[in-house]
Amino acid sequence: MKTDVSKNSANNRIGIGLLGYGTVGKGLESLLTDKASDAFFIAKILRRISKANRSDMVESIEDLLSDPKIEIVVECLGGIEPARTYIIEALKAKKSVVTANKALINRFGDELDTCAKENGVVLRFSAAVGGGIPYLSTLIEVKKHTQISAIGGILNGTSNFILDKMERESCTFEEALSEAQTLGYAEKDPSADILGWDSLNKIRLSGVIAFNTWINIDSIPCTGIDSIQTKDVEFIQSLGYHIRLFATMIKTNLGHSAYVEPQLFNSDNAEATILSNHNIAWFTDMSGKHQALIGQGAGGLPTAGNILRDLYQIKEDAKGMLPEERSLKNIDNNELSHAYLVRTSKSLKSGFLEAITVFKWIQGNRIYRITKNIQVSRFHNLMHQLKQLEPIFYAGIKKKENQ
C-alpha cells in the first residue's frame, strides 16, 4: 500500500511515531533533523513512565497510535515484550513499522509479516543485521538475479570492538567490555553480544532472506567470546592469527550448514582487517563470486542510518522484506569441518582432546592445542560438555581458500 503523505503537509513529510528513546532512538532523531527533515518528522515519542519530559513525548502507546499524523512507527525498544505487542497494535492501526529488533523478528517475524499484509501496511527491518550496512536489502536485490550459496561474516560490532581492543592494547576482556558500554556499543547487560546470541539471530535472519528458509535456531552451534583472556589473545597473535567472532550459513548438498564461533584468521583474510565496532557481511553466489560489505555494526547513528533507509523505502512504496514462501528446517553440519585452537587447564583430563590434538603447547598451568579437522557440530557438543568442568576457550581456524 502506497503511503498517503498528502495529509501531513504540502512538502510530503511523513509523521513518525518513535517507540523508545535510547541510543538508537536519539540517533534517528538526529538523522531526521540533520538529513531528512524535508521527508520525515517525529510526531510523538513513547517513553517510560516519568521519562516523558517533552511535549512530543507520551507514556501510553494508545496516545501515540491515535495520532493521525503518524503513518510509520519505528520500534527502538529492543527485547520481545512489550515490543511485539506494540508492533502488532501499530500494524492493526494501519501504520507501517520499521524495527532493528533481530531477536523479535527471529521469533515472531512470520506473525508480524502476516499481520502487516492483512492490514495493507509494511514491516521492514534492514537495521536488524549489520548496523549501518545495507546487507539484508542487498541480499534481496542479489536474489533477483542469482542464487546465493553462502553468507557470513562478523555480524556483531560489540564483540569485534572488544576483540580488536584486546589485540591492539593488550587490555583485559573486562576493560574492553567496559569501554564498549561507555561508548554505547554494548548494553548494560551484554550477554547477547558476548555469548554469540546476537550473531546467531543475525545469521538466522540473513538465512531466511538468502535461502527462503528459517533454520531451527536450537540446531545451530553457537559459542561466544565470554571465556577469552588476555593470555589467549597474546598466544593467538604469537601464531600469526587474529581472532574474530564469526557467523556463517552455507547451502550444501544436504540442506544448510551454519554455526557461530570465535575464529582465527590469517592477516590476508578480510575478517582480520575489521577493526573497532565494524562489521563485515559477505555473500557468495552459485558462480563462486564473493562480495563483502563493510561498515559500522554497533552504535546509535549507524543503526539509525539503516532505519532511515527503510523509512525512505516505505515512502517509495517498497514491500516487506520476508520472502513470500518460507520453509523451516534443521541444519545439517555433516559436510562442515575444520581445525580448532583449544585452551584448557593442565589439570583437565580428556581422552577426546588428546585423540584429536595435532600440536600442543604447555604454558604454565594452561595447555593450548591445535586439533585436526573435526565436524563442527560434534566438536561444539563435546566442548559444551567439557565447559561444565571449567571455562574452556576454543576458536575455529579459518583458511582463506575455504571461505
- What residues act catalytically? 202
As a whole number of angstroms, the distance between CA 94 and CA 267 comes to 50
- 166, 289, 178, 284: which is closest to 228 by C-alpha? 166
Please check whether residue 336 is in contact with residue 257, taking contact to mean a CB–CB distance below 8 angstroms: yes
As a whole number of angstroms, the distance between CA 357 and CA 237 comes to 20
DSSP string, 134-194: -HHHHHHHHHTTS-EEEEEEE--HHHHHHHHHHHHH---HHHHHHHHHHTTSS-SS-HHHH
264 three-class SS: strand
Q: Give the sheet arrangement for strand 290-296, strand by strand.
A: 290-296, 278-285, 148-154, 242-252, 255-265, 393-398, 340-345, 366-371, 357-363
Does residue 82 have a cis peptide bond before it, meaning omega lies within 30 degrees of 0? Answer: yes
Look-up: residue for cell 538523522? 31
DSSP letter at 254?
A: T
The CA distances from residue 273 to 125, 175, 279, in Å, are: 27, 22, 10
Q: What are phi and psi of 128, to 5 degrees?
A: -70, -20
DSSP string, 315-371: HTT---SS-SS-EEE----TT-EE-EEEEEETT---HHHHHHEEEEEEETTEEEEEE
Helices (DSSP H) in 36-134: which residue ranges?
61-65, 83-92, 102-118
399 three-class SS: coil
Please check whether residue 207 is in contact with residue 213, taking contact to mean a CB–CB distance below 8 angstroms: yes
As a whole number of angstroms, the distance between CA 277 and CA 165 comes to 10
CA 54 to the chain's CA centroid: 32
- 164, 220, 172: which is closest to 196 by C-alpha? 220
Cα–Cα–Cα angle for 353, 357, 360, nearest 5°?
110
